[in-house]
Amino acid sequence: MSDNVSLLEGRIREKAYRLWQDAGSPDGQEEDFWHRAKTEVEQEEKKLDKELADSFPASDPPSTTGVTGPKRRKAPR
């Protein structure tokens, strides 16, 4: 299992547990809380992805760097 999947499942598990506790810890509704938590986490992920999509690239390198500036000429021998 990849680290991203493990992190996602961990977030879902924690949210499901909080939802279950907030509801008074009822018996026999574990799957309901899991599905609700999964939906909420997925919605949070989509919202974050959308917010971050507008911020990339975070910045362009300054025009005076070797990355975007003119190539350096070799000194004559």
How much is the pLDDT for 29?
A: 92
The two tokens of residue 41 are: 């986490």
How much is the pLDDT for 3?
A: 82
Please state the domain extents for the chain: 3-46
Please give, one letter per residue, the 3-state secondary structure of the chain: CCHHHHHHHHHHHHHHHHHHHHCCCCCCCHHHHHHHHHHHHHHHHHHHHHHHHCCCCCCCCCCCCCCCCCCCCCCCC
How much is the pLDDT for 1?
A: 57
How much is the pLDDT for 53?
A: 78
Identify residue 39 by its one-letter amino acid code.
Answer: T
Residue 13 has pLDDT above 80, yes or no: yes
The model's pLDDT over 16-68, given as tens digits with 9 standing for 90+, comes to 999 999 999 999 999 999 999 999 999 998 998 888 777 766 566 665 555 55
